[in-house]
Amino acid sequence: MTILANILIIFFISLGVLFLVVAAIGLFRLPDLYTRAHAASKSATLGVMSILLGVFFHFWLMENHFNPTILLGVLFLFITGPVGGHIMSRSSYIAGVKPWAGTVRDDLKPEIERMKKEQNIK
Amino acid sequence: MKTNDVIMQFTAKLVFFIIFFFAVHLFFAGHYTPGGGFVGGLVTASAIVLLIIAFDLKTVQTILPINYINMVAIGLILALGTAAFSMFTGKPFFTHYYDYFNLPILGKTSLHTAALFDLGVYLVVVGVTMTIIQTIGEDE
């Protein structure tokens, strides 16, 4: 039983660390802000959630201490991590950060122009 | 430019309750585990700041019509009152009392007057933080 619990804990924590490493490599390797935000918000959220789940299982199965605060933290990260990435990318688009030169499609641009026309800006 | 921020506002509405109830948990857990009035007050203030960021200063003032300066005063009075209460019974200043009570749902609970002092600290911290942020945030 202890071995099974240990395998579960090690699986979740190493999965989380792997995803965090992938997120860090993505931050270095990807060309512009939007792809980097994609890497950072998705991969880092999943990585931290996995590590928290591993910690939760460790305290539950090894120390017999059921800690619902960690589950609340998982839920909180699941809600707020992607929304943080969304808000950062959107505000940098509106502030005028250009996407990568190889981008072929920009759906937000006509929408922003429509909003500007409706509110009589420029 | 005024843009459509429905995702931010909906998330703020949802997350506000998680943060607020976590703050209440921190406040009541302060006697036996890490937490207490100061951290609970700061977390509550951060929940209100999240609402202010997602919506508007005036909107939040209509949702929560609280005068935060009065909140600071009530907190200070509460803290000083619980500290000074023991002076009237012949004990030194800041002597706390506790006893075990049988509450209807919770069962046998130990209630301590230090929780009232902590409530005062909580009110002062929330009031001071929100006063600072509202004063800085106002444009006029």
pLDDT digits (tens, 9 = 90+) for A6-55: 999 999 999 999 999 999 999 999 999 999 999 989 999 999 999 999 99
Residue B112, H or E segment:
strand B107-112
CB contact under 8 A, B3 and A80: no
Which positions 11-50 of B are in contact with A (Cβ < 8 Å)? 11, 14-15, 18, 22, 25
Considering only the beta carbons, identify the residue of B3, B14, B22 that sits closest to A94. Answer: B3
Domain of A11 in residue numbering reads as 1-97
Residue B89 has pLDDT above 90, yes or no: no
Residue A79 lies in a domain: yes
Residue B58, H or E segment:
helix B57-63
Please name the residue that has the structure tokens 């951290």. B39
Q: Does B1 contact A at CB distance below 8 Å?
A: yes
Residue A9 lies in a domain: yes
Q: How many domains does chain A have?
A: 1
Residue B101, H or E segment:
strand B98-103
Residue A77 has pLDDT above 70, yes or no: yes
Q: pTM of the predicted model, to two decimals?
A: 0.85
C-beta of residue B123 within 8 angstroms of C-beta of residue B117: no
Residue A88 has pLDDT above 70, yes or no: yes
pLDDT digits (tens, 9 = 90+) for B35-48: 888 999 999 999 99
Residue A106 lies in a domain: no
How many beta-carbon pairs under 8 angstroms link A with B? 32
C-beta of residue A94 within 8 angstroms of C-beta of residue B3: yes
Domain ranges of chain B: 6-138
CA-wise closest residue to A86 among B3, B21, B19: B3
Q: Does B3 contact A at CB distance below 8 Å?
A: yes
Residue A2 lies in a domain: yes
| Number of other residues whose CB lies within 10 A of the CB of residue A27 | 15
CB contact under 8 A, B8 and A76: no
For all residues of chain B together, what is the average pLDDT?
A: 88
Rounded to whole angstroms, the Cα distance separating B127 from B140 reads 21
Looking at the DSSP bridge assignments, the partners of residue A115 are none
ipTM given for this complex = 0.81
